Structure 1
Amino acid sequence: MTSNEQIAALKKPTVVSAEEWERAWQAMLVKEKEHTRARDALAAARRTMPWLAVEKEYSFEGPQGKVTLLDLFEGRRQLVLYRAFYDPGVYGWPDHACVGCSLGADQVSHLAHLHARDTTLAYASRGSQENIARLKQRMGWERIPWYTITDDFDKDFGVDQWHGHNVFFRDENDRVFRTYFTNNRGDEALGTVWSYLDLTPLGRQEKWEESPAGYPQTETYKWWRWHDAYGNEDKKWSNVVDNATVILKL
């Protein structure tokens, strides 16, 4: 906790009137909107990146035994796969995973919202399924699918020495493609539904997005549900969105 002495030593900003504060906030809001637009443009650029075909077969261990990379999609179209360091020799082993990877797991929001956008999030480590199951229960990460790497997957996809998120797409013929990769500070802000979807080739799949022709897109906000209510049409919510008196600006 920051001490009173440290706070007293800070060079604090000027204290102003409510009117001056409002003007300063409005000026900051302009910059924040520019940042939002730039972030949207960056996500749009990701959606036009070329894909890399995954030709090699990879094997993982899951709670029910051996699985393939294709199995990790759980039947969905997109997969965001995080390489978490829960391996022998990692600081904290076997009681804990890597401190940074653990902080990231704590940030993961409810997966039902990603699933509604045809996207699966999963973790992979070198730890055994027995240890992973114990760790997930202890840390409250039961919802996150977490697999054991058994071959060269981590080396082949740039995550044998450091953490990282690889994004994959499964096409109509069940061919798998690598579409994006981020690590280092690119990982630190991930965890929300939007942060993951913005990495994927299909994006948020809302009509305001700039995406290649033919990409699936639905009306903004209308697909949202309570996390235990997906799969059911909600006409009342659609009416709320249509008749909202407060316009939600993108």
Structure 2
Amino acid sequence: MNSNEQIAAMKKPPVVSAEEWQKEWQEMLVKEKEHTRLHDVLAAARRRMPWLAVEKEYVFEGPQGKVSLLDLFDGRRQLVLYRAFYDSNVYGWPDHACVGCSLGADQVSHLSHLHARDTTLAYASRGSQENLARLKQRMGWDKIPWYTLTDDFDKDFGVDQWHGHNVFFRDENDKIFRTYFINNRGDEAMGSVWNYLDVTPLGRQEDWEDSPEGYPKTPRYKWWRWHDAYGNEDARWNTVVDNAVVTLKL
């Protein structure tokens, strides 16, 4: 059966008038808004999850040599660390990483927006730095910090047999805590700035969020910048936001 035959055999939805279509869409929109609100409630619950202290020392290989888990934060407060499968036992090696992990890497948004919220995203694999450098360049992933696992980190944090995002927080004394973990189909949603921030202990850090007392917050929208304009505190930007007719509703 060719493509046209498959399409012809489909049991398609009814075709309706513009008025009926608008009515159906409005009813679906109500359900989507409910889903958005539930997503916000779930993110708020994550910010109240207990933390697990990381007592063990871990060593990774980076482009400049050996680094610690603390080094992976790159000076920021939060770290989202994804274990991607790229090693000799993965199909496609050394030209390719795991197909699913590669789809995820293709979805990663511009990291400057995460950095603006004091959050670092990094990848870790068993592949050598030499192979990783070639892979990143060819696949267009050169902006993603990607480290080599050298010890039991993957086993200790539930990513030795499967992929997953571990979320960590660094406190004022450089003590590290594991705060959340996403794996399986949860990884499918990762890649956007918002979904990364929503799994961190500080969240998006915007004034509408339900966060514990004392958590950092700034006015919604005002921290947003073009990815090449962070650090440029042009006062005109705040005026633009204040005077705009904002149609985006929470």
Aligned residues: 249
Matches within 5 A, 1:216-235: 216-235=216-235
Deviations 1:198-227 (A, max 9, x none): 000000000000000010000000100000
Q: Does 1:177 align with 2:177?
A: yes
Instruction: Please give the alpha-carbon distance, in whole angstroms, between the structure 1 residues aligned to 2:55 and 2:112.
Output: 30
User: Following superposition of structure 1 onto structure 2, how do residues 49-88 of structure 1 map, counting pairs within 5 Å?
Assistant: 49-88=49-88
- Whichever residue aligns with residue 29 of structure 2, its letter is L
**CA deviation vs aligned residue, 1:222-242 (integer Å, no higher than 9, x gap):** 100000110111322222221
Give 1:179 shift. 0.2
**Pair 1:208 & 2:238 matched:** no
User: What percentage of residue pairs aligned between the two structures are identical?
Assistant: 84
- In the TM superposition, residue 246 of structure 1 has moved relative to its aligned partner by 4.1
Q: Could you say which residue in structure 2 is the equivalent of 1:147? A: 147
CA distance in 2, matches of 1:219, 1:234: 16
Misfit runs of 4+, over 3 Å: none
Does 88-97 or 55-64 show the bigger shift? 88-97
1:88 Cα shift? 1.6
1:27 match: 27
5+ long unaligned stretches in structure 1: none
Letter in 2 for 1:93: W
Normalised by the size of structure 1, how large is the TM-score?
Answer: 0.98
Written as runs of structure 1 = structure 2, the 5 A alignment for 1:81-160 is 81-160=81-160
What's the offset of the Cα at 1:123?
A: 0.2
Unmatched 5+ residue regions in structure 2?
none
1:142-184, CA deviations, whole angstroms, 9 ceiling, x for partnerless residues?
0000000000000000000000000000000000000000100
State the one-letter code of the partner of 1:198: D
Counterpart-to-counterpart distance in 2, 1:235 and 1:13:
51
Normalising by structure 2, we get a TM-score of 0.98
User: Which string of whole-angstrom CA distances, capped at 9 and with x for unpartnered residues, describes residues 179-198 of structure 1?
Assistant: 00010001011000001000
Q: CA offsets, 1:54-99, max 9 Å, x none?
A: 0000000000000000000000000000000001211111111000
Cα distance in 2 for residues equivalent to 1:79 and 1:246? 31
- Determine the C-alpha separation between the residues in 2 that align with 1:57 and 1:157: 13
| Residue aligning to 1:189 | 189
C-alpha distance after superposition, 1:6-28 (max 9, x if no partner): 11111111111111111101000
CA offset digits 1:27-64 (Å, max 9, x no partner): 00000000000001000000000000000000000000
Letter in 1 for 2:14: T
In structure 1, C-alpha distance between the alignment counterparts of 2:189 and 2:208, rounded to whole Å:
23
**SS of corresponding position for 2:166:** strand
How many Å separate the matches in 2 of 1:100 and 1:132? 17
